[in-house]
Amino acid sequence: MLDLFSDEAPWSEPLAEGAVILRRRAREQGEMLLALIDQLAQQNPFQHLITPGGHRMSVAMTNCGDLGWSSDTRGYQYSGEDTLTGRRWPPMPEPFRALALVAAQEAGFSHFQPDACLINRYEPGAKLSLHQDKDEKDLRQPIVSVSLGLPAVFQFGGFERGDAVQRVLLEHGDVVVWGGPSRLRFHGILPVKPGVHPLAGAYRYNLTFRRAR
């Protein structure tokens, strides 16, 4: 069972060259981060996007920062505004940016400057199929991914979709950083199991920080 009040210190767990899990790294900030997500969602609500293949994503998404990520039947894209509403994305909260910078530095990426934060909300059964993050212009910049709320199984594979994958449990406050030789590895989330988290309720939230331009 998840113990929110454990005094166990954060620690690093290597995944591959250039990839690491910073266990519990954001746990103490969890309540504040979730409150900020709620504020951002009030400005720009979560949406279930449509993939280029015409499928409705099970994960609900919103964004903050200079750029946001979106998907529709025309493809995947970054834009300074929500393509569905025409509104600009809310600014990235400073605590978000500070967490991303510190986590990247701890993982060995000292020059990370994120301009986009994707905010995903998973309800039980929601998943994210294996994929690569390759729509960013500078692939020297890492990905920083923060898990909040319900636990989920993270899949971290190779450079082809059919390569073997590692499956690791991510819990509230865990941060995964990958870049360098691991930047284009396939990754995803298996269907989230039902549960109730003391702070996030029946959801898992994920903050994914990127340098898109």
Binding site per annotation, positions for 2-oxoglutarate:
120-122, 204-210
Question: Which residue's entry shows tokens 């996007």?
Answer: 49
Q: SS3 of 38, please? A: helix
| CA–CA dist 208, 100 (Å, integer) | 9
Q: Which residues are annotated as a binding site for substrate?
A: 69, 76-78, 135, 161
| CA–CA dist 196, 178 (Å, integer) | 29
CB within 8 Å of 133: residues ≥ 6 apart:
143, 183, 184, 187, 210
Q: Which residues are annotated as a binding site?
A: 69, 76-78, 120-122, 131, 133, 135, 161, 187, 204-210
Q: Which residues are annotated as a binding site for Fe cation?
A: 131, 133, 187
> Counting Cβ atoms within 10 Å, is residue 98 exposed (0-12), middle (13-18) or buried (19+)?
exposed
Q: Which amino acid is at 143?
A: I
